[in-house]
A and B are shown apart, each in its own frame.
Chain A
Amino acid sequence: MIRILALLLALCAAGPALAQTAAPPPFTDRGQLSASELEFRAALKGERISGRVSIPDQQAANLIQPEGLDWRGFHNRTLAWIAGIAVLGMGGLLALFFLVRGRIRIAGGWSGHTLQRFSLLERANHWMVATSFLILGLTGLNLTFGRHLLLPVIGPVAFTALTQAGKYAHNFLAFPFTLGIVVMLLLWARDNVPEKADLAWLKQAGGLMGHGHPGAGRFNAGQKTVFWLTVFGGGIVAASGYVLIFPFSVTDIGGQQLAYIVHGVLAALMFAAMLAHIYIGSVGMEGAFDAMGTGQVDYNWAKEHHDRWVEAQVTKARQTVTPRDAKAAGAD
């Protein structure tokens, strides 16, 4: 009896040869998509595959974020193209312009008289923003292009030291930059409000097309463009930048990647725009630099480029100089 029992037991253990109901697959793999399929779909939809982790770092709960590959493509290709074209393109255009048009002279020559265009506060603030911006821009460009352009030249150790310093500079200077554009907004917003006259200025491309100089107020349409670009563009760049230096404090990885994209594209475009601004304020136009340099601009220059402003300034000056109840000379 025992022998039969033993035999039966042995047969039972022999394996699936006997007629038994087959075990279904376990819950982990019952009618679900395979790993490969899930990854494929997530990549297509731009979604993440995420679950639960027991550690506090919630970023760890993302198993696979295929958007990282898209972000890599953006960083290495798209942004490089945009920034490259924008910066080099703008540089090229400016060089070309200079070669063709040359330095824009004061038509009436130096008058020898000056009037104040920008106060000390305005200038100091502008230079704070400008210096910050330059370093921010250069260090930012270094993060995208330095590896290809500078690293082979100075070697990895020096390059790391430079880039590391650059990273700190970039992050710290964000604050004076932001402060500066807020001050700019407060100081100059009123004078930068777009007017109908700006359209005329634009139609003549500031005097490049057509004959003569179009009229302009304190700031012409070109300058107004730069102003609002600086304030809004700079504001968005700053905001996205803060998101980037306080990572995952307000958003998840998708948000961080988006912040980077916005930051990078806008900053590159701004940099290009600023190249034009720097050009015209220095090499490109005689007499322009003094505005921000000493604050005092030549009278003729001012009349040519900002006639309505000059008029308003002169009128104000006359009113100051002439007492209210003064009569014309020789009236009595």
Chain B
Amino acid sequence: MTTFAESATSFISSRPNSALRARAWSTFESVGLPTTTDEVWRYAPLSELDLDRYAVPATPTLTPQSDFAVALGALAATVVRVLDGFLVDIGEPVEGVTVDLNPDLTTLDGDDPLERYASDAFALANVALCPATVVVTVAAGTNVDGPIVIVHSANASASFPRTHLVLERGANATVVEYYEGGANAMVAPVSEYRVADNASLRLVTYQRLDPTAWHVARTTGLLERDGRLSQAVLGMGAHYDRSRNDADLRATGAENELRTTFFGSGAQVHDFRTHQFHRAPRTRSTLLSKGAVADTSRSVYTGLIEIEKGAKRTDARQTNHNLLLSPDAHADSVPNLDIRENDVVCAHASSVGPLNALQRWYLESRGVTRSDAERLMIQGFFLEMLDALPPALAGLVEGDVALALASVPVSA
């Protein structure tokens, strides 16, 4: 039986850029997996994580995609398929959109990824073990009709998808990243999104992995002048679901809207980390995190708004609402502010509590049972995230969310 390290070493030696990968791997080994004594990993069930249960695949395992992925694709402008991190289908050609594989492992800024991800073990593993970077570029001034769908299927026991989305100056696009599969697997994606001057990216990430999966994701938005990133992250699946979503608002007028939602059942843990970094004047960020935990599941939301000196007239808002659906469920909310400029508007609010009783009564007085009313309202957290999508596609995801929630006993 091969260990995870053996499979990694063999993978690295077979790929381009093996020197950089080997450096990333040895940094990963010296950094080591985090432990729960590390505050930012405090709630992760790390004692259950045994890397030797996983092996890095040399090639993707081909399997048919799910009916849902097929239906999603049918409503898309184009579908890019990624299997176990390997790009297997670049989709139909769309005017102004290119899909490439880049063996280079630098960041979108052209920096050394070992510096960017210096102490992040899973991101370092991604640098070492991703097959290549999947790069989707929307050319300057292009307005893409219909969403670009990226279907990530995890069939191997470990996969490290690496994605760069680039919207050039004035480009406009909607992208859906969908993750499925992942039974008894670890999926550790790293994504970066560059939104150039006056460009606009609406992004929906729908994580619907198997309930046995470990999902550790990291995304970074790089926002240029008047660039706009509207990002929705829906965490439904996985045993441990961690999503770190950062935005670097580096030029005047950049705007980031981030909405995250999750539903926890069984012994799931949803762990959301955000960092909105305002480095330029008149930048705006709004963050809304809304989720529900049932059974013995738990959620963690930790968000940092950081405003650099000189980022005058920045407007940053952060809101987190958690819903407890069982006495054994638990939600933690830790908003943080680090502000080094006076001329700013900054607000944060968080709450842990039950559903709005009057809204629930209103639905009941229409003849809906209490449990259905609660289910509809919790489902509503997710539905509110989908307004970037065309109605047909939103409807499809709504149906899938409803299906996922239907099997869970809900009682607020």
Same complex: no
- Which B residues fall within an 8 A CB radius of A? none
- Which A residues fall within an 8 A CB radius of B? none
